Chain A
Amino acid sequence: MVNKSTSPTDPLIGNDSWNIQLDSKGRLKHFLTIEGLGSEILTNILDTAESFANVNEQRVKKVPLLRGKTIVNLFFEASTRTRTTFELAAKRLSADILNINISTSATSKGESLLDTLQNLQAMLCDMFIVRHCDSGAAHFIAGNVAPHISVINAGDGRHAHPTQAMLDMFTIRRNKGRDFGKLRVAIVGDLLHSRVARSQIHALNILNTGDVRVIAPKTLIPTDIEDMGVSVFNDLEAGIKDADVIIMLRLQRERMQGAFLPSEHEYYSQYGLSEERLLAARDDAIVMHPGPINRGVEIESSVADGARSVILDQVTYGISVRMAIMSMVLGREPELTETEAS
């Protein structure tokens, strides 16, 4: 069940987003954040994704699980990788999927968000996949949709990106085995603006990862990050020393207002992951990146394309992991209504 001690309230969105995503039996009704979930649910997602990975190797890469379900990709913010892997995942589950491009939709003609949602509900959809630049957007939508609709958070502001975190956990488990307790994981880069990093840290903690480190210049580290149970480093080589997993984050230029950094060049000289710096990590360390990568800004090209890089595997695994989450959310046995239960 819900572990209340991990998060009484969410500092970014000011309310407990984790408790509306579970139904009365503790199963996922929405998937909005990793925070507050138990290791059992996370492990279940990873195990189910393992089975879906096989489906992606079939000649007919499709299973009939979600036939007749309608899923809407509701992207208020640009995305290619996340949107297309959600679309592929839905199609491989035999669901129908609509892509709504908000910039050309009625929202730009002045329709309110709630009116847009009500119209989509009137089209008898079953799931909204939401990407939005404001923290808490997916949570807001989940709180305002009809009871039969599930919402998956595909990234909200700097708050959470839970499906990305789960595909990262899947990538780590595939490469390093099921025991996270013996792993040292280093997350490098723009932690201040990164919803991916926040979700990753929650997931790594829930899976009892031995050592979670964050590495960045002081200006790109949130002040409360140590409360999340990670150790903070400002020096890249010291931080990735003997790491099993290095996760590089994208420098989010579009979210930076003000002088966080002197220059990209200087950032690269101190925090860019080069082959030489990678020597500090373990010989079998893997290098991850949620994409899109800025070559020569946070990562050297030869590292991104090198033997240790699992960046493209992350993209492939993203399909299986999203298939697992979508089918678990839409495949709950219907809850009894009060009259049926009595």
Chain B
Amino acid sequence: MDEIAKPDQLLEKLADDLKQLLVEREIDDPLMVGIHTGGAWIASSLHAKLSISQPLATLDISFYRDDFSRIGMNPRVKPSSLPPQVEDKHIILIDDVLQTGRTIRAAMNEIFDYGRPASITLVCLVDRSGRELPIQADVIGQHLRPGTDQHIKLSGPEPLEFVIT
């Protein structure tokens, strides 16, 4: 596997690339949504770097997981804090590590239960191998191809660090 960059370096790159993409897509008032827990840390930093006016929202996808019948209730589920109206909003969805795509599938299902957004842009700190669903990110900090038995996790919020096991 290639060497993994420091999260703070990747955040700078994400902020620059995202800023450019929003200009290209002519999105000027997006709603930023971070997925618990790592995605919310990154989102909080990007939200400040891009000076986004709409308050930062967070999403806990525990109630939308596809493996509930196998792993059961997450005892540490947190409330989601999406505003009641996501109708026609341009959403920037943020996660730390994109692997199977199942978290993003669950997150999109949850968002649609709040309303019909105008668009969803996916931002991930790390895009790693192991996809099981046809989902891809629009803005990526770093691509990695670790072995299938290797896990990449983000620890934080201060400092943000990758934990590879």
Contacts and interface: CB of A to CB of B under 8 A. Distances in A.
Nearest to A329: B73
A189 to B, nearest CB: 34
Contacts of A103: none
Contacts of B73: 48, 327-328, 331-332
Interface in B88-145: 109-110, 112-115
Contacts of A65: 63-64, 68
B163 interface: no
Contacts of A333: 70-72
B84 interface: yes
B68 A331 contact: yes
Nearest to A48: B77
22 contacts: A44-B75, A47-B77, A48-B73, A51-B60, A51-B62, A54-B80, A54-B81, A55-B63, A58-B84, A58-B113, A58-B114, A59-B113, A60-B113, A60-B114, A62-B113, A63-B113, A64-B63, A68-B69, A328-B73, A331-B72, A332-B73, A333-B72
Contacts of A334: 70
A54 B78 CA distance: 10
Contacts of A57: 84
Contacts of B79: 50-51, 53-54
A51 to B, nearest CB: 5
A203 to B, nearest CB: 19
Interface residues on B, range: 20 to 34
B63 A63 contact: yes
A35 to B, nearest CB: 22
A323 to B, nearest CB: 9
B136 to A, nearest CB: 24
B71 A59 contact: no
Contact of A51 (B63, B69, B71, B114): B63
A114 to B, nearest CB: 29
B64 A64 contact: yes
A172 B75 CA distance: 21
Contacts of B69: 68, 331
Given A331-B73, A332-B72, A333-B71, A51 B64 contact: no
A127 B139 CA distance: 45
A2 to B, nearest CB: 18
Contacts of A52: 63
A332 B78 CA distance: 18
B115 A59 contact: yes
A168 B113 CA distance: 28
Contacts of A64: 63-64, 109
Given A63-B113, A65-B64, 18 more contacts: A44-B75, A48-B73, A48-B75, A51-B62, A51-B78, A51-B80, A53-B79, A54-B79, A57-B84, A59-B113, A59-B114, A60-B112, A60-B114, A63-B64, A65-B68, A327-B73, A331-B73, A333-B72
Contacts of A50: 79
A28 to B, nearest CB: 10
Nearest to B84: A57
Contacts of A328: 73
Contacts of B110: 63
A68 B84 CA distance: 28
A65 B62 CA distance: 9
Interface in B42-68: 60, 62-64, 68
